[in-house]
Amino acid sequence: MSELYELEELVPIVAKLTDKYTSKESSSISYEKARMLMEAVNYSIEEFYNDNDNAVSSVTRIDAVLAYEKGYEKVINKVKKAKDLYDTIIKDFDAYNIICYYDTIIKGMPAFFMYYDAKFCPQDHILTLDYPTIISVQDKQGINAIYDYLYMINLEQIFLNKFNRQDVVKVLVKYNEDYKGLLINVANIVLRNLIMLSILGKKVDSLEIDKDDYQKIKQIINCNSKENIVEIFNKSIKEIVKWGYKDNNELLLYLSYGINDFYEELRNCVEYDCLNAMF
């Protein structure tokens, strides 16, 4: 339970919510349901205190009932915001034939908006969110997880829409012929190609890395320290974002998140001479 409040303050809220849950037609509930309702109260209260728009509430402790009610309102508003964002994404959405991407966004999300229970179980986001984003939402729950996930999907779609669909598919096929069934992040794969093209001084809109480039990549990796290379990568991402996305800072932050993993994978590929597995 929320550490801000004593158990005695939260019990009446859970009791009232339980009455609503059972419509007073059932005099008992299972421990599992009681836990669910307890978490629901906790989730809404935390939503009230954790919301970034709420500068005052983060320092002021208000009555538990009021915090719950206001938190619940915020949950509802966030669902509406997520729905608007989803509507924006869906207009130009392309899953690039990746099954889990299509299933998560096209099949899963509408089901989420249909079945999400903001009142009695706001902590359950229902979906498994199989398509992996660059930043994981595993540590989040409920509408917070879904909103952040959609936010990242939106950034990815903005990023990918800049390129010709055929080129993106070509990159994915080169990555793995059976890419359609894999749980891979499209933006990350395209970004890695872009970074290398940018470092190699080639045109970034083609997305193609040739086998002849492997030797140059090996040289770059072997002749520089990790810090240097990460810095070069960061610089490249900045250039890419500046080139095609009007210095979109959110996109820059999002794309930069996977840089260290990229370096480690690249290092391994160079070491074991298997760059073709990456590009």
Partner 1 sequence: MDEKKFFEMLVNNKNEVSNILNCNSYISQFGLSLTKEDAESLVVSKKNTLAKEERIEFSSKITEKLIFAFCDSPYIIEDIFVEYIGALQDIFYMYKNETLDEIIDDDLIEYMREEFNGECQGSLEFLEETCLDSFAREIRANTDGFIGSRKYE
List residues near partner 1 by CB under 8 A: 1, 7-8, 10-11, 14-15, 18-19, 22-23, 25-35, 38
Q: Whole-number minimum distance, CB 10 to partner 1, in Å?
A: 8
Tell me whether residue 27 or residue 166 sits nearer to partner 1 (CB atom).
Answer: 27
Residue 129 burial (C-beta neighbours within 10 Å; 0-12, 13-18, 19+): buried
Tell me whether residue 11 or residue 62 sits nearer to partner 1 (CB atom).
Answer: 11
Give ∠ CA 213-218-224 in degrees, rounded to 5.
125
103-109 long-range contacts, CB within 8 A, separation 24+: 103/130, 103/131, 104/129, 104/130, 104/131, 105/131, 105/153, 109/146, 109/150
Q: Whole-number minimum distance, CB 78 to partner 1, in Å?
A: 24
Tell me whether residue 114 or residue 223 sits nearer to partner 1 (CB atom).
Answer: 114
**How many Cβ atoms sit within 10 Å of the Cβ of residue 108?**
18
Tell me whether residue 27 or residue 138 sits nearer to partner 1 (CB atom).
Answer: 27
CA dihedral (226, 229, 230, 235) in degrees, to 10, reads: 160
Q: Whole-number minimum distance, CB 120 to partner 1, in Å?
A: 12
Residues listed for the chain: 279
Tell me whether residue 29 or residue 135 sits nearer to partner 1 (CB atom).
Answer: 29
Q: Whole-number minimum distance, CB 131 to partner 1, in Å?
A: 21
Q: Whole-number minimum distance, CB 18 to partner 1, in Å?
A: 7
